[in-house]
């Protein structure tokens, strides 16, 4: 699933490619991808110029003229490419946005869980999913991070994945930041001291920043706006490596489930916290 770094990478690639260009028409090739209805959705977007492309949490947001926002929820396998005509794009195209200059951009989705919706600004902020999102982890101060993550008593990884606590972090970057912070994913937030949570805040921000710099992680389907793969997967310490040796201490990495999500950790580099 595209997480914060992947969506940020797509947004940064699309912004210069689409800014100032006008949507001529919209072809909804798969109605499930346009939950507002293919015809109303297409009609609302036709004739609008793209002003900017940005990200909020794991959402891709295209600001259009006349106060309209195109919200793209990529879910598990969604993506957006600009002016890219390949066999893969044609095969998995769900919505094609035709531009007045003859170009186009395409929403692709292999598993068909993603969606595109058009909102006025007040509609976007009233959308329950959008309204529930927590603060951005790259914008959070250490103090706010400690306050939000340390509240209650639940597994720290579950807290990281809770999009109402902080927005945009998924399985990959939760595992990698917890490893770098030396914190076991199953540890309860109530037993983690403020200094340890501040270290997790620092490591999470560094992991996310590095992943953005390397265009995200390509494990299966993710590609950026130009169809290119990311490179951060080459730096995974734990994610997806259960049963392999730790790259730091050599111990065998262990797999577990936390909050129903697969988790990998090092039993030596991430010792359990004392209760």
Instruction: Specify burial of residue 250 (Cβ count, 10 A radius: 0-12, 13-18, 19+).
Output: exposed
The one catalytic residue in 19, 22, 49, 261 is: 261
- Going through 3-58 in order, the beta strands assigned E by DSSP cover 23-28, 50-56
For the four alpha carbons of 192, 166, 2 and 54, in that order, the dihedral sign comes to negative
Instruction: List, as one string, the DSSP characters of 125-181.
Output: HHSHHHHT----TTT--HHHHHHHHHSSSSBHHHHHH-TTTSSS--HHHHHHHHHHH
User: Is 39 assigned a catalytic role?
Assistant: no
Instruction: Specify burial of residue 144 (Cβ count, 10 A radius: 0-12, 13-18, 19+).
Output: middle
Query: Which three-class secondary structure state does DSSP give residue 96?
Result: strand
What element of type H or E holds 94? strand 93-99
User: Is 188 assigned a catalytic role?
Assistant: no
Q: HSE (CB half, 13 Å, CA atoms) of 193? A: 6
The one catalytic residue in 3, 6, 176, 203 is: 3
User: Is 8 assigned a catalytic role?
Assistant: no
User: Is 40 assigned a catalytic role?
Assistant: no
SS3 content of the chain, % helix, strand, coil (to 5): 35, 25, 40
The one catalytic residue in 48, 58, 157, 223 is: 58
Question: What are the catalytic residues?
Answer: 2-3, 58, 261
């Amino acid at each position: 699933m595209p997480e914060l770094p992947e969506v940020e990478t797509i947004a940064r690639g699309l912004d210069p490619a689409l800014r100032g260009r006008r949507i001529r028409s919209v072809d909804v090739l798969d109605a499930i991808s346009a939950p507002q209805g293919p015809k109303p959705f297409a009609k609302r977007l036709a004739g609008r110029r793209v002003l900017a492309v940005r990200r909020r949490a794991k959402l891709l947001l295209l600001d259009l003229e006349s106060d309209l926002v195109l919200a793209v929820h990529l879910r598990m396998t969604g993506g957006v490419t600009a002016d890219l005509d390949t066999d893969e794009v044609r095969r998995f195209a769900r919505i094609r946005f035709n531009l007045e200059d003859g170009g186009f951009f395409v929403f692709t989705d292999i598993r068909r869980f993603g969606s595109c919706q058009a909102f006025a600004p007040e509609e976007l902020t009233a959308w329950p999913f959008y309204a529930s999102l927590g603060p951005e982890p790259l914008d959070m101060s250490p103090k706010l991070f400690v306050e939000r993550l340390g509240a209650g008593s639940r597994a720290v990884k579950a807290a990281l994945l809770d999009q109402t606590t902080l927005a945009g972090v998924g399985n990959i970057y939760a595992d990698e930041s917890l490893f770098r912070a030396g914190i076991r994913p199953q540890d309860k937030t109530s037993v983690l001291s403020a200094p340890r949570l501040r270290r997790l805040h620092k490591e999470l921000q560094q992991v996310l920043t590095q992943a953005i710099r390397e265009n995200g992680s390509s494990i299966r389907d993710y590609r950026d706006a130009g169809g290119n793969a990311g490179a951060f997967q080459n730096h995974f310490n734990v994610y997806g490596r259960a049963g392999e040796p730790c790259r730091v201490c050599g111990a065998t990495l262990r797999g577990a489930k936390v909050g129903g999500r697969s988790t990998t950790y090092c039993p030596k580099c991430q010792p359990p916290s004392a209760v």
